[in-house]
Amino acid sequence: MIHAWLDGELDAAEAARVEQLVETDPEWGAVAAEARGLVAASSRIVGALDVVPDGVIPAGSKAGHATAKTSRFSVRPWMRMAAGLALVAGTAYAARTRFADIGELPVAKSAPSSVLADSPAVAGTVAAPETPAPAPARPAPARSATVGVAGTIAAGTGAQDRQREATPPAPARAQARPDASAPVDQLASAVAEITRSEDSLRKAMVASRAVDDSSRAERLRRLQNSELRLSEVVVTGVAEPPRDSTLARAQPRRAAAEPTREAAANSAGTAALRPRIVIDREGNALGGLFNASALEGCWRTRTTAAVDSVLVNPRVVAMHRDTLLVAFIPLSEGRRAVLFPETIRVVRRGADELRGLANDRDGNPVAFTATRITCP
């Protein structure tokens, strides 16, 4: 009755009667107040549903994108990798067939180095400098093993890969990597979540195979290729090399003082992310693209914790749904790098501003804001 009255569904006489009761009888008044609260609460809760569906998989705006995306078929890392591998295999097969009688296999000479270098599984800095380069046909497993996290999120962008090619890896990276702890744990956690999602995706793929018309089969083929992309492993970028000799000298001291934190920070790296399709356990389709290189630069931070004001190059550790996990790298020498090894949840990102939560040394959450500045 009260709900019907609040919803305006009673006729005039009934409504007047209820109104009078509500005004005069405290019991009716209390019931009406509670019902008003329930109406408001349910409206608010239902309204909250409008947040997710159109935001999880972003719409096709092109604003603010630094990623150079030429075509679907030219930039996708998995396609380059597949093309590279196919080319190598084809060349090897042809060479084996053609040159078998003269006992020479010119595969090493004729392998398309540019294609291989462009492949995300071969290019980049993850392959440790001191580690012998893996055979071209088996690049991905070598990467997984190096990073120590199996089956991470997605493949890197071609632009980022090229950028990483141009950046020589710091020697400290490979040394520190095996001691990775906190950020890698975070990453591993995110990876576990994504891996579970992959399982759901595979099940969805199997279910979808029942669809038998040709156009659907074609779409399905592309979806299955998308699945391949999920299983690629590209975690790159580890620690930035010191910006100057002073910082280079400071690096070993800090590593000695805080070996675990240093190692963790060095191993945090960048999980370069590509568009992906993930079905979560509730059956929701998730996807997204994050251009990690857009974060590079210097940022002035404001937090309630004691921390250096200038940090550099937030590194994307992982992205799960709309939570971006990043680790900052401090710039100045005499800093207390409270945020340095910590994983920061960025809950809002603008072009020149990040807002989020970090943890201080005691593990307490600390709100922070970072604003992009010109690097000193």
Query: What is d(CA 343, CA 319) in angstroms, rounded to the nearest whole number?
Result: 12
Query: Closest approach of Cβ 288 to other proteins, in Å?
Result: 5
Q: Which is nearer to other proteins, 65 or 109 (CB)?
A: 65
Q: Which is nearer to other proteins, 12 or 45 (CB)?
A: 45
Which strand (E) or helix (H) includes residue 2?
helix 2-6
Written as six digits, the tokens of 179 are: 């001691």
Q: Could you give phi then psi for residue 97, rounded to 5 degrees?
A: -70, -40
Q: Which is nearer to other proteins, 44 or 257 (CB)?
A: 44
Query: Closest approach of Cβ 208 to other proteins, in Å?
Result: 5
Query: What is d(CA 92, CA 169) in angstroms, rounded to the nearest whole number?
Result: 31
Q: Which is nearer to other proteins, 48 or 257 (CB)?
A: 48
CA angle in degrees (0–180, nearest 5) for 6-12-15? 35
Q: Which is nearer to other proteins, 172 or 182 (CB)?
A: 182
Amino acid at the residue 109: K
Structural contact between residues 261 and 131, judged by C-beta atoms closer than 8 angstroms: no
Written as six digits, the tokens of 269 are: 């790296």
Q: Which is nearer to other proteins, 216 or 372 (CB)?
A: 216
Query: What is d(CA 109, CA 206) in angstroms, rounded to the nearest whole number?
Result: 41
Query: Closest approach of Cβ 302 to other proteins, in Å?
Result: 18
Query: Closest approach of Cβ 182 to other proteins, in Å?
Result: 14
Q: Which is nearer to other proteins, 11 or 130 (CB)?
A: 11
Query: Closest approach of Cβ 350 to other proteins, in Å?
Result: 7
Query: Closest approach of Cβ 78 to other proteins, in Å?
Result: 13
Give the residue from 338, 147, 154 showing the smallest Cα distance to 237: 147
Which strand (E) or helix (H) includes residue 96?
helix 77-99
Query: What is d(CA 174, CA 81) in angstroms, rounded to the nearest whole number?
Result: 24
Query: Closest approach of Cβ 31 to other proteins, in Å?
Result: 11
Written as six digits, the tokens of 212 are: 């038998």
Q: Which is nearer to other proteins, 198 or 308 (CB)?
A: 198
From residue 229, give the alpha-carbon distance in Å to each of 20, 83, 154, 183: 66, 14, 6, 23
Query: Closest approach of Cβ 274 to other proteins, in Å?
Result: 9
Query: What is d(CA 259, CA 252) in angstroms, rounded to the nearest whole number?
Result: 9
- Other C-beta atoms lying within 10 Å of the C-beta of residue 22: 20
Query: What is d(CA 123, CA 127) in angstroms, rounded to the nearest whole number?
Result: 8
